[in-house]
Structure 1
């Protein structure tokens, strides 16, 4: 099977995208041709090499490149790592899928700690991406489901909604509104998107509509949510506290398995 191709894009191609290129090649170089580029390239920050070398990752191919120099190449995936690059790269890159990941620029802080943090965060995101990409290869009929699921995780409210529902088994709109401190219309809109993507299903009991993970959600999707919850328990800790403080929660214990 021929290799897929992926390019990481940020403004300067001097830190985040260089870390992503080296890490992705280290993790899946046998499956993907990996590139990086910038919309306004700058010299690679020396701390990139320092952090990668400390983890015994190759820096052989790392150099700053202008995205315009790759304008004739077609990629399977283009992944932007900052909002500015996302806005400007769409017209410059040819890719079957363009994904937006947003990471803080580590160059603004002294030392290498911020670079290590970004590298760790990239590692978790790439693990999920590789899990999805393996499903893509199973056949085109699964592509739409995987993409819908992946897009759901990209939104903060929807991701926390899924993690809360996974932890609680079932939740209604009012409970999610209290836990996430969002308006009812916004929560309902996100729930409708998750239900349309076949990630959630609902049931009505009296005046309440309860939402839970879809019974036919694939094992790989459940695994992604479980890994996310296990490795990011602090992500919804405050939301769970608010939920537990909520008064007059709907009674459903007898109705849930």
Structure 2
């Protein structure tokens, strides 16, 4: 599997970003190519090497470098470690995703304790980053599923159907017909497409068929729907109002005539 590329950025590239580079390489060097740079680079603080050596973390190849020396590279991730670097580097770095992690500069304090604190905080943040990136990564064998999923979201009716079902957990054809103000044949056709793409699954209760998100829908797909819903609540607000106007919602079967 091709390695992802990641760049840590801080102002001086003399402490925080060097600690992050060495630590991330130890934790996930098999999956990521890891770099660091500074917007105004300075020599590496000797305490960086002391702290890394005490933790048995390799400091091999660590050196301070200017962000401009990497402006021809495109990274999968760029992570800024101070607000100043984030403000000044956004237009300089080429990356698919730019994340902002803000850590206090340990150089301002005497001794190595502040460096140890930053290293511990970086370790926790990197663990969460790796858990998230691995959980929601689309694997090569899932690529066809990903294409089907995003094609489904490209249609207005299907996207709203998925968001409504996610919000309500389960809906039948008549509820979607009322909420979306569409004909039953059209809603049924879209539901069939979503079911064939393994995005929805159905449950028969008496004469009624209810639809919900598929139990085996990948985590990354669920996260896409969650983020879409949380950041675009107005998209289905009117549809939810129409759904609520149907009457006594708990009497689901009685509404589906």
**TM-score when scaled to structure 1?**
0.55
CA distance in 2, matches of 1:218, 1:40: 42
Structure 2 portions without partners, runs of 5+: 148-162, 169-214, 221-257
Show the counterpart of 1:136.
Answer: 137
Residue 47 to residue 128, structure 1, CA distance change in 2 (3 Å):
same
Show the counterpart of 1:11.
Answer: 11
CA distance in 1, matches of 2:167, 2:85: 36
Show the counterpart of 1:46.
Answer: 46
CA distance in 2, matches of 1:22, 1:125: 14
Structure 2 residue matching 1:51: 3-state secondary structure: helix
Cα offset, 1:11, TM superposition: 0.3
Larger gyration radius, structure 1 or structure 2: 2
Structure 1 portions without partners, runs of 5+: 143-196, 203-215, 221-257
CA distance in 2, matches of 1:19, 1:80: 13
CA distance in 1, matches of 2:218, 2:85: 33
Structure 2 residue matching 1:126: 3-state secondary structure: helix
Show the counterpart of 2:225.
Answer: none
Structure 2 residue matching 1:128: 3-state secondary structure: helix
Show the counterpart of 1:102.
Answer: 102
Show the counterpart of 1:113.
Answer: 113
CA distance in 1, matches of 2:121, 2:69: 28
Q: Residues 188-225 of structure 1, C-alpha deviation per residue, up to 9 Å, x if partnerless?
A: xxxxxxxxx99x979xxxxxxxxxxxxx99879xxxxx
CA RMSD of aligned residues (A): 3.2
Cα offset, 1:99, TM superposition: 0.4
Aligned 1:244-255 pairs, distance under 5 A: none
CA distance in 1, matches of 2:100, 2:167: 27
CA distance in 2, matches of 1:218, 1:44: 43
Aligned 1:1-257 pairs, distance under 5 A: 1-134=1-134, 135-138=136-139, 141=146
Residue 72 to residue 107, structure 1, CA distance change in 2 (3 Å):
same
Cα offset, 1:137, TM superposition: 3.7
CA distance in 1, matches of 2:28, 2:10: 21
Residue 19 to residue 137, structure 1, CA distance change in 2 (3 Å):
farther
CA distance in 1, matches of 2:218, 2:51: 37
Cα offset, 1:51, TM superposition: 0.2
Number of equivalences: 159
CA distance in 1, matches of 2:82, 2:167: 33
